[in-house]
Amino acid sequence: MAKGPDAFRTISEAAEEVGVAPHVLRFWETRFSVIRPMKRAGGRRFYRPQDVALLRSLRVLLHDRGMSIKDVQQLAKAEGVRALGALADARPVPAAEPVAERLSPEPPLPAPAPMPAEAPASASTPGPEGLRRLAAARDDLLAVKRRLDALLSS
């Protein structure tokens, strides 16, 4: 019988849902203070649904996106746990070829060109979601450029 979506998970059940081994979850607990499963007498861990969601976000950032533990720690400290989930959900990366992205400063975006006079009045600047998606596309392109530069220089 399957557990309900709000049921607590043991470490093996959480690891299976996240797609990593149980020892990886124990290791992440030592590196990320935001992971705090409930512990019963004897030290048995139980993960709440929000814990499992956070673990999924960590797996995406560390394994699929290629971020380092230090980068994710800095992101969690600077922007909070919600930022981890938002960044993990921001854009899909093909599992066959993860993009290695780091939290290094990138060159600023060039200033937008002025709108031509003949542009319709309904043309507007993108909202926060559109800007986030544009920044994500820019980051992907810069990562591809760095990879191509590295391949061409070798």
Q: Which CATH number fits domain 1-90: 1.10.10.60, 3.60.70.12, 1.10.1660.10, 3.40.50.1000?
A: 1.10.1660.10
Which pLDDT belongs to residue 101? 45
Which pLDDT belongs to residue 149? 79
Q: What are the sequence ranges of the domains in the chain? A: 1-90, 126-154
Which pLDDT belongs to residue 24? 93
Cβ atoms of 29 and 35 closer than 8 Å: yes
Which pLDDT belongs to residue 90? 65
Which pLDDT belongs to residue 83? 76
Which pLDDT belongs to residue 95? 43
Q: What is the mean pLDDT of each run of 10 residues along the chain (154 residues)?
A: 79 91 92 88 88 90 88 85 73 43 53 60 64 82 82 74
